[in-house]
Amino acid sequence: MQGDHEDLLLKFRDNCNSPGEGILEGATMKRNLEMRSFQYMAKTLLSLVVRLALLFRCVYPPFLRRPNNIHPTNLIEAAAVVDSPPAPTEMINEGHVLPWMERLQKLEKILEEVSSKPAEIPPEKEKMLLESMDRIKSVERDLEKTKSVLHAAAMKQLEIAEHIEKWAHQAKCRRRWLCLNA
């Protein structure tokens, strides 16, 4: 690298007209080259540090992670459990199981009652259902009759429209015939 600097300085001196000018400009050129080489070294060093940091982060990620499961409420509950005296497990189990056993017995009684009832519909409800079905069937028959009457009326209307068109056409022809004879 030092050889490059000297070659540039020699070329610069050869191109200058006066000897004093070349020396001053050569010194400026030398300072510029030194600054550029310093900047190059700084960039290279910074790049190396960044790459090492990334490598360290990829290789050792468990060491960089913080524990996420620590919450203030968990700490308070854990402290309360540690401070409280141990309770007898037999009393806790019996106290918790007794309400569930009572509820289970009630549900079993309800199941027996439901399974003992017949799967038949009461007669009054069955009568209401049959009456409703009869009303529905009568409404369906009325709708079918109305549909057929409307269809017949539409057909009759089309026939009347055809007859009116024929009469109008015949009337035009008669007028032309009269116009032609006159």
The answer on pLDDT for 52 being more than 90 is: no
pLDDT at residue number 34: 73
Which pair of structure tokens corresponds to residue 154?
A: 């539409």
Q: pLDDT of 11-49, one tens digit each?
A: 655 555 455 555 556 667 677 777 777 788 888 888 888
Cα–Cα nearest to 8, from 43, 42, 34: 34
Distance, CA of 113 to CA of 138 (rounded, Å): 40
**Residues sharing a CB contact under 8 Å with residue 23, sequence separation 6 or more, in sequence order:** 13
Q: Which residue has the higher pLDDT, 152 or 8?
A: 152
The residue extents of the domains of the chain are 2-64, 141-182
Measure Cα distances from 23 to 1, 17, 30, 31, 132 in Å: 21, 11, 10, 12, 119
pLDDT at 104 over 70: yes
Tokens of 76: 């308070």
**What are 130-145's pLDDT values in tens digits?**
999 999 999 999 999 9
d(CA 182, CA 165): 26
CA pair distance 59, 56, nearest whole angstrom: 5
The answer to whether 29 and 9 are in contact (CB under 8 A) is: yes
- Are 64 and 57 in contact by the 8 Å Cβ rule? The answer is yes
Nearest to 37 by CA among 87, 2, 83, 80: 2
Q: Residue 14: which H helix or E strand, with range?
A: helix 2-15
* DSSP annotation string for 148-177: HHHHHHHHHHHHHHHHHHHHHHHHHHHHHH
Among 113-117, 126-130, 142-146, 158-162, which is the least confidently predicted range? 113-117
Q: How high is the pLDDT of residue 15?
A: 55
Kindly report, residue by residue over 63-80, the tens digit of the pLDDT: 555 555 555 555 555 555
> Would you say how long the chain is, in residues?
182
Picking from 40-44, 106-110, 131-135, 150-154, which range would have the lowest pLDDT averaged per residue?
40-44
* DSSP output for 67-135: PS---HHHHHHHHHHHHSPPPPHHHHHHHHHHHHHHHHHHHHHHHHHHHHS-SPPPHHHHHHHHHHHHH
Residue 160 scores a pLDDT above 80: yes
